Chain A
């Protein structure tokens, strides 16, 4: 009798109905949410083929590929130049920043040096100042170094991005903290030095965090407006995509450039979205781990 009570929990019809109802409700809510989240992007893609933007036409009357051609041919808003600028910056920054971030994270995680704790506190306190404050001065320093005129300002921007990379050590450090220290000790007994341990023992085990760091370092420059706008100083040909497109959207009269903006948005998004979906699992791992460790 007691067994029956424990294992054959009675499922009443009322309960069944409630279950189905609640499930349907959840499906409806999820469907509505997805519509809210995805439809604007569908609209954006459709508008990128529009001949002319008309607010009362969700689906434009005529379709064309001219907007995509305008990205290459338009003289006032040289999108292809912004695109190449950003791509170049992102590639260089992804490589260098990943190396430097992982190096600092490893040092803070594994190497017991005297100033370790104070150094981390210093980075924490510096991080409380708005980063833009220093950027104003960075511009002038780079100006006097000759790195803020014409195309050298792109090199200057790369330097600024890389210069601030030690502040991003936190998530990677959290990851390194979870790798057992006995691995280091075992390698040490086998005669490996710190350098060998870092590159040959820890790095191969850290693929998720390496991929995550590269992903963030690569996508960061695509979305940066603040620093890039300081370095561009209003010159169209030196802008990155964010600065350039912002100028196009806000300065161009009315909505003439809206379809072109949509086309640009599609072209910018495709590589990043692809990258994201390919590396989705690594990204999720980094986000979750980073949140848990703060």
Chain B
């Protein structure tokens, strides 16, 4: 459809066209991913591997003895050619790695197949005559050290490849009578290698506190790691796809599990949708009101709303948790005491946090209460940047304020804050605090498909999001089901990644069409 044809359509057909073209674009995003992008990555990686191997052979052929020795003693070429700091660091890493490999790495990797043989042993102390318990194998440490060993080995291969290349480069430099001195190396640290200095600590933190735990946790999805099989007292073991099957209703607990999981997933998406868009549009509305020409005390209105941002969120939420309580909450009392035409506004207390549907509505409204000031603040900043001449020319053309809003303000806002909307949507999928501190995920599921719940569904409640359910599974007071929690985490990743993929693809398409105006 051309632009002219599109403009000729009535407004409802335009909206219909936009929605259908958006939905029909989704399969395209995924087919593109699987037919072009992912195979593309493999082809690129394959070519890269071939190039690396050819390079390794070539360097060995062209190199002198110093370079060739570097194949076995890392850093040899660099040390003998005057780049001592780099060489020594490489050598130290190599030695340290092999010491680690043979003392900790190999023994743990050997046990990885079964996560250890025995958890603890007991023997009778020969002199004291009492039984002594001793922990032997610890599944957690076995898995952890195995992951660390593999990561360290990957680093070793990377450094090894880098240093033979450098040795070769130094050899070539030597031929023309130049070299890389230690002084040069140190100078580069505040010059062309400054990013290494800046990113060293953050990267270290990322690997230790994010990447290693994530890899670990993804592997846990295939084990029975839980409070029943917890280190150091018990060993855990591989269980294959058991956790995935259980969540999908094919294992213990049967279809009830998948039913609860499906409801929680659905509510997570509904919640994220409403939480994002109610806040966005109402926040923008409030910003428009405050920014309206001729409205006085702008600063006062804004400051009053900002109070909610300033007070820590958990305080507002915990406060509302009590404020909205059915029997002892003040709000129910206030509503009861308002009398219109001799009739109280409500006859019985409203179960704000004890009834599935009402709780869901309550949560969305409370989230508006918390989120609107934030969006208001953001929007009023951006609204001031809307080019004023656009409004002026629209006014001369005789446009009404509503028309100006629909044709100028809204498109501009959507254009500028598109990425924010997406990240906000994704953030709401993982919005733990609002749900957990307000309703605690409650009320609990008591029936699934008309049948009372027989099996343990691990404290899942009707307003639980995937993330709060994950939390309950991992931190439960009775059972800690790390394996199941991990599977849910993987599902969250899949949901978030697919949404980001679709939506970012769309905003990029918008951007490519040219800038706003």
Taking a contact as CB atoms closer than 8 A, the residue among B191, B319, B328, B422 that contacts A262 in the complex is: B319
Interface residues of B in 412-431 (CB under 8 A from A): 416-420, 422-423, 426, 430
A293 touches B419 (CB 8 A): yes
Stretch in contact with the other chain, from A21-29, A68-76, A77-85, A206-214: A21-29
Given contacts A223-B433, A276-B310, contact A284 B377 (CB under 8 A): yes
Interface residues of B in 283-317 (CB under 8 A from A): 286, 289-290, 292, 294-295, 301, 303-316
**Is there a chain A Cβ closer than 8 Å to B206's Cβ?**
yes
**Is there a chain A Cβ closer than 8 Å to B352's Cβ?**
no
Q: Which of A163, A196, A198 has the most CB of B within 10 A?
A: A163
**Is there a chain B Cβ closer than 8 Å to A36's Cβ?**
yes
B430 touches A130 (CB 8 A): yes
Interface residues of B in 495-517 (CB under 8 A from A): 496-497, 500
Taking a contact as CB atoms closer than 8 A, the residue among B197, B304, B432, B437 that contacts A132 in the complex is: B432
**Is there a chain A Cβ closer than 8 Å to B436's Cβ?**
yes
**Is there a chain A Cβ closer than 8 Å to B318's Cβ?**
yes
Contacts of B420 in A (CB 8 A): 290-292, 294
B485 touches A133 (CB 8 A): yes
B323 touches A137 (CB 8 A): no
Contacts of A182 in B (CB 8 A): none
A107-127 to B contact mask, C-beta < 8 Å, 1/0:
100010100100100010110
Distance (Å) between the CB of A118 and the closest chain B CB?
A: 11
Distance (Å) between the CB of B403 and the closest chain A CB?
A: 16
**Is there a chain B Cβ closer than 8 Å to A55's Cβ?**
yes
The range of chain B's interface size is: 35 or more
Bound Cα distance from A123 to B202, whole angstroms: 11
B214 touches A37 (CB 8 A): no
A100 touches B194 (CB 8 A): no
**Is there a chain A Cβ closer than 8 Å to B457's Cβ?**
no
B474 touches A132 (CB 8 A): yes
Interface residues of B in 480-502 (CB under 8 A from A): 482, 485-486, 489, 492-493, 496-497, 500
A130 touches B470 (CB 8 A): yes
Given contacts A137-B213, A261-B318, contact A269 B292 (CB under 8 A): no
B311 touches A269 (CB 8 A): yes
Interface residues of A in 57-116 (CB under 8 A from B): 58, 100-101, 103-104, 106-107, 111, 113, 116
B334 touches A163 (CB 8 A): no
Contacts of B155 in A (CB 8 A): none
Taking a contact as CB atoms closer than 8 A, the residue among A37, A261, A288, A290 that contacts B369 in the complex is: A37
Bound Cα distance from A163 to B201, whole angstroms: 9
Contacts of B214 in A (CB 8 A): 126, 129, 133-134
Contacts of B423 in A (CB 8 A): 294
Interface residues of A in 164-178 (CB under 8 A from B): 164-167
Contacts of A136 in B (CB 8 A): 213, 217, 474, 482, 485
**Is there a chain A Cβ closer than 8 Å to B65's Cβ?**
no
**Is there a chain A Cβ closer than 8 Å to B273's Cβ?**
no
A277 touches B310 (CB 8 A): yes
Bound Cα distance from A223 to B316, whole angstroms: 11
A37 touches B319 (CB 8 A): no
Taking a contact as CB atoms closer than 8 A, the residue among A125, A141, A198, A262 that contacts B213 in the complex is: A141
Contacts of A7 in B (CB 8 A): none
A-side binding surface: helix, strand, loop or mixed? Answer: helix
**Is there a chain A Cβ closer than 8 Å to B68's Cβ?**
no
**Is there a chain A Cβ closer than 8 Å to B195's Cβ?**
yes
The range of chain A's interface size is: 35 or more
**Is there a chain A Cβ closer than 8 Å to B440's Cβ?**
yes
Contacts of A230 in B (CB 8 A): 475
A130 touches B467 (CB 8 A): yes
A287 touches B374 (CB 8 A): yes
Contacts of A129 in B (CB 8 A): 214, 489, 492-493
**Is there a chain B Cβ closer than 8 Å to A225's Cβ?**
yes
Distance (Å) between the CB of B114 and the closest chain A CB?
A: 20
Bound Cα distance from A162 to B202, whole angstroms: 8
Which residue from chain B places its CB closest to the CB of A116 in the assembled complex?
Answer: B195
A223 touches B475 (CB 8 A): no
Which residue from chain B places its CB closest to the CB of A293 in the assembled complex?
Answer: B419
B216 touches A37 (CB 8 A): no
Contacts of A245 in B (CB 8 A): 314-315, 318
Bound Cα distance from A277 to B422, whole angstroms: 29
B44-65 to A contact mask, C-beta < 8 Å, 1/0:
0000000000000000000000
Distance (Å) between the CB of B402 and the closest chain A CB?
A: 12
B289 touches A104 (CB 8 A): no
Interface residues of B in 322-358 (CB under 8 A from A): 322-323, 325, 327-330, 332-334, 337
Q: Which of B140, B318, B334, B493 has the most CB of A within 10 A?
A: B318
Bound Cα distance from A258 to B466, whole angstroms: 30
Q: Which of A130, A134, A250 has the most CB of B within 10 A?
A: A130
A27-57 to B contact mask, C-beta < 8 Å, 1/0:
1011001101110110110000000010110
Which residue from chain B places its CB closest to the CB of A125 in the assembled complex?
Answer: B497
Distance (Å) between the CB of A125 and the closest chain B CB?
A: 8
Which residue from chain B places its CB closest to the CB of A223 in the assembled complex?
Answer: B312
Bound Cα distance from A38 to B304, whole angstroms: 7
A41 touches B199 (CB 8 A): no
Contacts of A254 in B (CB 8 A): 328
**Is there a chain B Cβ closer than 8 Å to A203's Cβ?**
no
A36 touches B369 (CB 8 A): yes
**Is there a chain A Cβ closer than 8 Å to B32's Cβ?**
no
**Is there a chain B Cβ closer than 8 Å to A272's Cβ?**
yes
B451-474 to A contact mask, C-beta < 8 Å, 1/0:
000000000000000110011001
Given contacts A55-B333, A194-B190, A288-B381, contact A276 B306 (CB under 8 A): yes
Contacts of B486 in A (CB 8 A): 133
Distance (Å) between the CB of B409 and the closest chain A CB?
A: 15
Which residue from chain B places its CB closest to the CB of A262 in the assembled complex?
Answer: B319
**Is there a chain B Cβ closer than 8 Å to A187's Cβ?**
no
**Is there a chain B Cβ closer than 8 Å to A236's Cβ?**
no
Bound Cα distance from A7 to B324, whole angstroms: 56
Contacts of B303 in A (CB 8 A): 277, 280
User: Nearest 8 pairs between A and B by C-beta?
Assistant: A294-B419, A163-B209, A288-B381, A134-B213, A163-B205, A276-B310, A137-B213, A194-B194
Give me 7 A-to-B residue pairs in the complex whose CB atoms sit less than 8 angstroms apart, sorted by A's number: A38-B304, A41-B311, A103-B202, A164-B209, A195-B190, A229-B475, A269-B315
Known: A40-B323, A291-B417. 17 other contacts (CB 8 A): A29-B289, A37-B369, A129-B493, A132-B470, A135-B213, A138-B209, A140-B231, A159-B209, A226-B471, A245-B315, A255-B322, A265-B319, A269-B311, A269-B315, A290-B420, A292-B416, A294-B419
Q: Which residues of A contact B (CB under 8 A)?
A: 19, 23, 26-27, 29-30, 33-34, 36-38, 40-41, 43-44, 53, 55-56, 58, 100-101, 103-104, 106-107, 111, 113, 116, 119, 123, 125-126, 128-138, 140-141, 144, 159-160, 162-167, 193-196, 198, 219, 222-223, 225-226, 229-230, 241-242, 245-246, 249-250, 254-255, 258, 261-262, 265, 268-269, 272-273, 276-277, 280, 284-285, 287-288, 290-294
